[in-house]
């Protein structure tokens, strides 16, 4: 299994809602990432988890709250978002060893719209 | 120092032609240089990657050329096909930073039939 899955595919939420994005991988990867991608722009890193511990937070507003319950699962909890937070949210995982040591595999993303 | 500069912004190539996309970086601590392909509404897919101790890497129709002294690397797509029409991102990363990917701005490639 060489796949990163993300749910939901699409999400529409109001500014007062609380929602969560989910990411899952079963490749044994121990590093997982959240990226945000606006239209016609490259992905921008938000968070990195390494061995289930948060290792990088790119000064992301607290309305985004990541969680890594176990080595296969990564969540992004959303609360009181703004319309400018509308974007494609991408999850990625990185292989830990061997020739593919550095490869990051991306999921298909969650298209988020904040009304 | 953290930037990766990518050109051109867009590229139109005839079917069967060669597509060339260029990237340049400043930070000599980068030690991993991947290229990603992204179709509309999809996540980026890793195409090919190179480390700075290698000057060229080829996988099928895709070749990375790497010039360490010039701090530049490029993607060549041989025999370009309409199915190659997508956005291509170069990136760079360093091992002491959790391999955080620093992406170029992207190149939108259109291959005409």
Which DSSP letter does residue A103 get?
Answer: -
Q: Give the model confidence (pLDDT) of A41-87 as tens digits.
A: 999 999 999 889 999 999 999 999 999 999 899 999 999 999 999 99
Write down the residue that tokens 């809602």 correspond to.
A17
Which DSSP letter does residue B93 get?
Answer: B
For B97-112, give the secondary structure using H, E and C. HCCCCEECCCEEEEEE
User: In this model, does residue B97 exceed pLDDT 80?
Assistant: no
Mean pLDDT of all residues belonging to chain A: 91
User: How close B78 comes to chain A (CA, Å)?
Assistant: 23
Q: Using beta carbons and an 8 Å cutoff, which residues of A are at the interface with B? A: 4, 6, 31, 40-45, 48, 50, 55-56, 90, 92, 94, 102-109, 111
Residues in A closer than 8 angstroms to B106, CB to CB, are 40-42
**Quick check: A106 and B32 CB within 8 A?**
no
Distance CA A35, CA B46 (A): 15
Q: Give the model confidence (pLDDT) of B2-49 as tens digits.
A: 799 999 999 999 999 999 999 999 999 898 999 999 999 899 999 999
């Amino acid at each position: 299994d060489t796949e990163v899955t993300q749910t939901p595919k699409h999400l529409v939420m109001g500014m007062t809602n609380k929602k969560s994005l989910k990411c899952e991988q079963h490749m044994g990867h121990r590093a997982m990432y959240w990226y945000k991608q606006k239209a016609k722009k490259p992905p921008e890193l938000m968070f990195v988890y390494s061995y289930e511990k948060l290792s990088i937070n790119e000064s992301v507003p607290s309305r985004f709250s990541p969680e890594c319950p176990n080595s296969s699962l990564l969540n992004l909890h959303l609360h009181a978002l703004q319309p400018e937070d509308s974007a494609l949210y991408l999850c990625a995982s990185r292989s830990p060893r061997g020739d593919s040591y550095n490869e990051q595999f991306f999921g298909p993303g969650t298209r988020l719209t904040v009304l | 120092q953290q930037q990766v500069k990518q050109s051109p912004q867009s590229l139109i190539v005839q079917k069967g032609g060669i597509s060339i996309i260029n990237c340049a970086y400043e930070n000599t601590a980068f030690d991993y240089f991947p290229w990603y392909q992204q179709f509309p509404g999809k996540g980026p897919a890793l195409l090919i990657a190179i480390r700075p101790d290698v000057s060229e890497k080829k996988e099928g129709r895709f070749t990375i050329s790497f010039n360490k002294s010039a701090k530049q690397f490029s993607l060549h797509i041989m025999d370009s096909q309409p199915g190659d029409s997508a956005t291509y991102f170069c990136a760079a990363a360093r091992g002491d930073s959790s391999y955080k990917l620093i992406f170029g701005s992207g190149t939108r490639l259109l291959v005409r039939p």
